[in-house]
Structure 1
Amino acid sequence: MPYFSRISGRDELRPIASTLIGAKGSDLMLIKLAIAAFEKASWPTTIQTGRYMYPLASNSRNVESSVNDSSGTYQRKQSDLEQLCKDLS
C-alpha cells in the first residue's frame, strides 16, 4: 500500500499485517493453514529485512508473486482454497 512518507520525503510501501487467534492447542494448525493459503495464492511466505520486506512488482499488491503461476483464475484459486480448508479440518 503506497503512501508518501513525511519522514523520508518519498513514496514508501506500507506493510500489511494480520493476527490469527484460535483455540488452545491450535497454534501449529493455524500456522500450517496460513502457509498453505499463502502458497495457494502465490503470496510470499517469508520476508526480508529493511525497507523492502517483499520483492516489488507492478501489480495491485505491489508485491511479486512467490510462484510464477499465471494459470489460475480467481474462481479457481478460491475453490482450491476452500478445498484446502476442508482438507485441513
Structure 2
Amino acid sequence: MEWLGYVAATLTTIAFVPQALKTIRTRDTRGISLGMYVVFTIGVVFWFGYGLVLGSWPMIVSNAITFVLASVILAMKLRHG
C-alpha cells in the first residue's frame, strides 16, 4: 500500500509547483500571507522529520522538495514584502 503514499506525495508536491514558479518568476508576493508561509514551512519541516522517523520515502522526498520551494517563496516574501 506504499504506492498510496507515492501518489499522494507526488500530487501534493506537483500541485504546489505552479504557484511557486509563478511567484519566483513574477516576484509578486503581495497576495501571500507571511504568517501562513512561516507556519507552512515549519510544518513541512516537521512532516519531513516524521517521514525520516518512519522511513517513509514518499514523505521524505516530497517534503524535501516542498521545503525548498516554500523556503524560496518565504525568502522572497521577506525580501520583497
User: Do Structure 1 and Structure 2 share a fold, with TM-score over 0.5?
Assistant: no
Q: Which has the larger radius of gyration?
A: 1
Structure number with higher relative contact order (C-alpha < 8 Å, ≥ 6 residues apart): 2
What TM-score, normalized by structure 1, do the two folds share?
0.27
TM-score (norm 2): 0.29
Structure with greater proportional helix content: 2
